[in-house]
Amino acid sequence: MSRKVGRAARRNRIRRVLREFFRLHQEEIDRPLDIVVVPKRNLDPKTVDLALVEQEFPPVLSRVLQETTAAAPHERP
């Protein structure tokens, strides 16, 4: 996360909330996958909480998982 988002304390808060979201939803991600999250510059770190992330991320996560499933070659059993 770059300094465009804010000072270290603000960046770390956003990072902690995102990590908690992915920790709670790790069972939904069934394959090794690197996900890069780039917050918008106008994001107010004070408003970022788990409820907001729970509202915004599931549709994006499901779309990413569908795209990776469609693009992934068939795995051997």
pLDDT band at 13, cuts 50/70/90? confident
| For the chain, domain boundaries | 8-60
- Per residue in 15-60, pLDDT (tens digit) is 899 999 999 988 888 778 888 888 777 777 778 889 988 998 889 8
Instruction: Report the first-to-last Cα separation within the chain, whole angstroms.
Output: 38
pLDDT band at 3, cuts 50/70/90? low
Tell me, what's the pLDDT at 9? 82
Q: Are 1 and 14 in contact (CB under 8 A)?
A: yes
Considering the entire predicted model, what is its pTM? Answer: 0.71
- Count Cβ atoms below 10 Å from residue 15 Cβ, excluding itself: 15
Tell me, what's the pLDDT at 4? 58
